[in-house]
Amino acid sequence: MLQIKDLHVSIDGKEILKGIDLEVKAGEVHAIMGPNGSGKSTLAAALAGREMFAVTKGSVTYMNENLLELSPEDRARKGLFLGFQYPVEIPGVSIVNFMKTAINEHRKFKGLEPISASDFLKHMREKKELVGLTSSLTNRSVNEGFSGGEKKKNEIFQMAMLEPILAILDETDSGLDIDALKIVAQGVNQLRRKDNATIVITHYQRLLEYIVPDFVHVLYKGRIVKSSGKELALELEEKGYDWIKTEE
Amino acid sequence: MDESALSLELKRDLISLFRQNTGALETNSGRILNLYRERAFHDFDKLGIPSTKNEAYRYTPLEKYFQGNYDVELNANPFKIDVGSVFKCDVPELDTDVVLVLNGFFHSGNKTGQLSGGVIVCGLNEASVRFPDIFHKHYSHYADSEADGLVALNTLFAQDGVFVYIPPNTVMEKPLQIINLSHSLKNLRITRRNLIVAEENAVANIVVCDHTLCNQRYLANSLTEIFAGENARISFDRLQNENNLSTQINHVFIHQLQNSLFNGTSISLHGGLIRNNFYARQDGPNCETNLNGLFLCDDKQHVANYVLVDHASPHGTSNQLFKGILDNDATGSFNGKILVRKDAQKIQAYQKNNNLLLSSAARMNTKPHLEIYADDVKCSHGATVGQLDNEALFYLRSRGIGEKEARFLLMYAFANEIVSRISVPILKERIIELVDKRLRGELSKCNNCDIRCG
Ligand SMILES: Nc1ncnc2c1ncn2[C@@H]1O[C@H](COP(=O)(O)OP(=O)(O)OP(=O)(O)O)[C@@H](O)[C@H]1O
Ligand SMILES: [Mg+2]
């Protein structure tokens, strides 16, 4: 589904990612861990198409297509979803309007008619329940004045609404209380299918107890320095990153 | 005054225009209208057309808009218009009483006279004759012709417009919609003068729509005086949508007595040059004044808003919120002032101007300021000029929303803060549609109008 080869990404001429290789197949869950500033969010944003992150070298193939040639909106319409580490507040745009517009843009891309008002409401109600989002929240402007945890829940809600093929969740667990964490994990698990995949970026082993990964990768200074099974997360939790740094 | 050679020339031309037509003007107008011309003449002779050296007009280069040949109509145009069809033009299905003002003259086809509850809506000139007592008590009492040459110019040439009177303890049943139309085969200079009097405890909703029916150059100098008696509540919303060759100068003088409320929202969509001057004076305690403005402009449009809220009495509140989106070579300015006089204690006055520039050539000059002589007041002012938020844009696009649509959503959200303040619900819905179209570039000044010209 996703093949990243020797990916180099710079911001303002400064190289952040220094050759990433990663392959994600349908049905898999990958976890990416790594110390602060190692480039995890940069990788996620580059995959989602943020222009300020310039790809200087390497390739990314998504569903047999050159991902890097696509606009951010086309990536999304083809099933890529990024759960932001820092969701953006958009005053004046209601969540309802935002999601309706997004869904209709996805439908237009597929050659479908806009969704009917009743279907939209039904869809919305279902997904709200799934992630435990209240109407008082969805009637508000996107993320405006939301608590940290509410913002993260809203990311999962959007994911549920858009039903992506490849979801990249950038620290969606941080800032969530235990109950919310379970709800979020449950949401992710319910959306798991044979033909989709998830990349979770996290600092905590805790999340991986609920969303069990097939692979755990350690990103360090712009490179994946270690990849292993789910037991790697436990080891990291115990020992921190120092042993990897010295191993390097 | 600071006068350039050009402004001197413009002044001379206008003065000779007045001299040539004094006879006709005075014969066509009621006595009270004529009463104020002499003083206006004196003031205009002193002040002339404000040049950019005049601080209040620093960013509005008016002179060039005054140049060129314009016709002047001294009599109402006999042009027949079906009010019903024009009415569909911009705010359909709005359950309002409608009056049409054609080239500055109250249209003869208007159904007028007394509405329910003794509300009077008629032509200004007619009112000066039929209701001399009320008229004399208010006309030219609030518009200060010493402050601005254009105010003096308006009073000098004033002939007609709309007169609205809401008696004490009367609630206007329906909103009143005033449609200002410009229609002629030649370039035209238009003077409009309105007077709105809401007596104590009166409630009035007034909507003004400005339109042009043809692609001529229009130069309109409009002035509205509004009196809010004790406890009166007035909403005064305005939609400016004229052709982009037109120049619209628009003065609104609001005079409020104690406990009165004034809500005004102006939406400027099309128009070559739009200059709005708002002067609100709180002349009794506990008044509330809310002035909002939204302008969406592109090409070579210029939209300028000037606001003065004069807190002359204690315990008043005022809010000014003006927002603009400027694209292409459009320019705009905001010049807002809160004046709190010496004995006006316990005032809360706020002022904000936010602008979005969509192109590198668009320019916005903003100058919010406070002048405070009382010590126990709460005031704040602020202004921003910025671009669309790139983070927000990316967030929307990352959900599959195309760039154009994403930009639209952000602009719409920006504009909606003003639109949501419009007090008449159906008008609000219609304005939402218009703003939507305008932001998508689908609204040309005429295409929503049933009357096709040329
Ligand atoms: N917009 C930016 N401008 C300049 N430098 C940036 C920008 N965004 C990220 N960086 C830098 O790139 C590096 C990698 O940042 P990134 O956000 O990808 O780290 P991360 O692994 O996600 O960290 P964390 O665990 O703290 O979220 C950091 O040194 C950071 O300062
Ligand atoms: Mg990060």
Going from N- to C-terminal start, the domains of chain A cover: 2-247
- What is the number of the ligand 1 atom nearest to the C-alpha of A39? 18
B186-202 burial: b if 16+ Cβ within 10 Å, else e = eebbbbbbbbbbbbbbb
pLDDT of residue B448: 45
Residue B64 has pLDDT above 90, yes or no: no
Read off the pLDDT of each residue in A59-79 and give the average, rounded to a whole number. 96
Could you report the per-residue pLDDT of B27-42, keeping only the tens digit for each? 999 999 999 999 999 9
Read off the pLDDT of each residue in A42-63 and give the average, rounded to a whole number. 95
Read off the pLDDT of each residue in B431-438 and give the average, rounded to a whole number. 86
Place of tokens 């004094």: B22
> At A160, is the secondary structure helix, strand, or coil?
helix
Whether B344 contacts B370, CB under 8 Å: no
pLDDT of residue A248: 52
> At B160, is the secondary structure helix, strand, or coil?
coil
CA-to-CA distance for A68 and A62, rounded, in angstroms?
9
Binary contact (B396, A141; C-beta < 8 A): no
Task: Of A31-40, B278-287, B308-317, B424-433, give the lowest mean pLDDT range.
Answer: B424-433
pLDDT of residue A238: 79
pLDDT of residue B174: 87
> Which band of pLDDT confidence, cut at 50, 70 and 90, is reported for residue B112?
low
Q: Could you say which DSSP state residue B171 is in?
A: B
Tokens (6 digits) for B158: 């004033």
pLDDT of residue B216: 84
Residue B447 has pLDDT above 60, yes or no: no
> What is the least distance, in Å, from the CA of A74 to any CA of chain B?
6
- Measured at the CA of A132, the angle between CA A127 and CA A134, to 5 degrees, comes to 90
pLDDT of residue B315: 97
Query: What element of type H or E holds B390?
Result: helix B390-397
Q: What are phi and psi of B59, to 5 degrees?
A: -105, 5
- Does the beta carbon of A154 lie inside 6 Å of ligand 1? no
Read off the pLDDT of each residue in B208-225 and give the average, rounded to a whole number. 89
> What is the least distance, in Å, from the CA of A72 to any CA of chain B?
5
Q: With pLDDT > 90 as the criterion, what percentage of chain B qualifies?
A: 67
Please check whether residue B236 touches A, CB under 8 A.
no
Read off the pLDDT of each residue in A238-248 and give the average, rounded to a whole number. 71
Q: What's the order of all strands across the beta sheet hosting A14-24?
A: A14-24, A2-11, A54-62, A65-66
Could you report the per-residue pLDDT of B87-108, keeping only the tens digit for each? 455 555 556 788 889 999 998 8
pLDDT of residue A200: 94
Cα dihedral B434, B435, B439, B444 sign: positive
Q: With pLDDT > 70 as the criterion, what percentage of chain B qualifies?
A: 92
Residue B113 vs residues B75, B109, B126, B235, B368: alpha-carbon distances, Å: 21, 12, 10, 22, 42
Going by C-alpha positions, the residue among B263, B268, B232, B233 that lies closest to residue B250 is B268
Q: Is the ipTM of this complex over 0.90?
A: yes
- Pairing state of beta strands A65-66 and A54-62? antiparallel
Residue B82 has pLDDT above 70, yes or no: no
> What is the least distance, in Å, from the CA of B402 to any CA of chain A?
6
Task: Of B1-15, B40-54, B309-323, give the lowest mean pLDDT range.
Answer: B1-15
Nearest residue (CA) to ligand 1, atom 2 = A11
We find that the CATH architecture of domain A2-247 is 3-Layer(aba) Sandwich (3.40)
Q: Could you say which DSSP state residue A30 is in?
A: E
pLDDT of residue B292: 97
- Does the beta carbon of A39 lie inside 6 Å of ligand 1? yes
Most confidently predicted of A128-142, A193-207, B257-271: B257-271
- What is the number of the ligand 1 atom nearest to the C-alpha of A171? 27
Nearest residue (CA) to ligand 1, atom 19 = A37
pLDDT of residue B451: 37
Could you report the per-residue pLDDT of A154-202, keeping only the tens digit for each? 999 999 999 999 999 999 988 888 888 888 888 788 888 889 999 999 9
Whether B151 contacts B224, CB under 8 Å: no
Residue B84 has pLDDT above 60, yes or no: no
What residues of chain B lie within 8 A of the CB of A48, using their CB?
Answer: 398
Q: How many CB atoms lie within 10 A of CB A28?
A: 18
Please check whether residue B412 touches A, CB under 8 A.
yes
CA-to-CA distance for A28 and B413, rounded, in angstroms?
39
Could you report the per-residue pLDDT of B348-399, keeping only the tens digit for each? 999 999 999 999 999 999 998 999 999 999 999 999 999 999 999 999 999 9
Could you report the per-residue pLDDT of A102-122, keeping only the tens digit for each? 999 999 999 999 999 999 999
Q: Ligand 1 center to residue A234 CA distance, Å? A: 25
Going by C-alpha positions, the residue among A217, A221, A222, A223 that lies closest to residue A236 is A217
- For chain B, the straight-line distance linking the first and the last C-alpha, in angstroms and rounded, comes to 42
> Which band of pLDDT confidence, cut at 50, 70 and 90, is reported for residue B453?
very low
**Whole-number average pLDDT of chain A:** 91
Q: With pLDDT > 70 as the criterion, what percentage of chain A qualifies?
A: 98
Residue B328 has pLDDT above 50, yes or no: yes
- Measured at the CA of B63, the angle between CA B61 and CA B66, to 5 degrees, comes to 130
